[in-house]
Amino acid sequence: MQHVWIRPAALTLALAVSLSTGAAQARDANQDDAFASIATVRQAYASGALTPEGLTALFLSRIATIDKAGPTVNAVLETNPDALDIARKSGKTGPLAGIPILLKDNIDTGDRMQTTAGSLALAGKPAPHDSAVAAKLRKAGAIILGKTNLSEWANMRSNHATSGWTGRGGLTVNPYVLDRNACGSSAGSGSAVAAGLATVAIGSETDGSIICPASMTGLVGIKPTVGLVSRTGIIPISHSQDTAGPMARSVADAATVLSAIAGSDPRDPATKDADKHATDYTKFLDPNALRGKHIGVVRELAGIEPNADRALEKTIAILKAQGATVVDPVEIPHLKELSEHELDVLLYEFKHDINAYLATRPDQPMKTLADLIAFNDREAAREMPWFGQELFLQAQAKADLSDPTYLQIRDRNQRLAGPEGIDAALAKDHLDALLAPSWGPAFVNDLVLGDHVVSGDPTVGGVSAPAAISGYPSITLPVDFAHELPVGVVFFSAKWSEPTLIAIAYGVEQKANAYRRPRFLPTLPIR
Which residues form the catalytic set? 104, 185, 209
Q: Give the H or E element holding residue 297.
A: strand 294-297
Q: How far apart are CA 317 and CA 320, in angstroms?
A: 5
Q: Could you tell me if 324 and 490 are in contact, meaning their C-beta atoms sit under 8 angstroms apart?
A: no
For residue 71, count other CB atoms closer than 10 A to its CB: 18
Q: Whose CA is closest to 210, among 253, 245, 258?
A: 245
Q: 306-319 burial, b for 16+ CB within 10 Å, e for fewer?
A: ebbbebbebbbebb
Contact 10, 82 (CB under 8 A): yes
Is-contact 146 63, C-beta < 8 A? Answer: yes
Number of H helices, E strands in the chain: 19, 13
DSSP 513: -
Look up residue 32 and give its DSSP letter: G
Residue 185: asked if its preceding bond is cis (omega within 30°), the reply is: yes
Q: Residue 341 and residue 358: Cα distance in Å, rounded?
A: 26
427-450 exposure pattern, b = at least 16 Cβ within 10 A, e = fewer: eeeebbbbbbbbbbbbbebeeeee
List of residues 6+ apart from 473 with CB closer than 8 A = 222, 223, 224, 225, 228, 467, 492, 493, 495, 496, 497, 498, 501
Instruction: Give 332's contacts (C-beta < 8 A, 6+ positions apart).
Output: 298, 300, 421, 422, 424, 425, 434, 466
Phi, psi of 411 (to 5 degrees): -65, -40
3-class secondary structure, 274: helix
Per DSSP, the residues of 352-373 read: HHHHHHHTT-TTSS--SHHHHH
Do residues 132 and 164 make contact, with C-beta atoms less than 8 angstroms apart? Answer: no
Per-residue buried b or exposed e for 343-359, using 16+ beta carbons within 10 Å of the residue's own CB:
bbbbbbbbbbbbbebbe
DSSP letter for each residue of 436-497: EE---SPPBP-TTT-PPP-SS-TTTT-TTHHHHHHT--EEEEEEEEETTEEEEEEEE-STT-
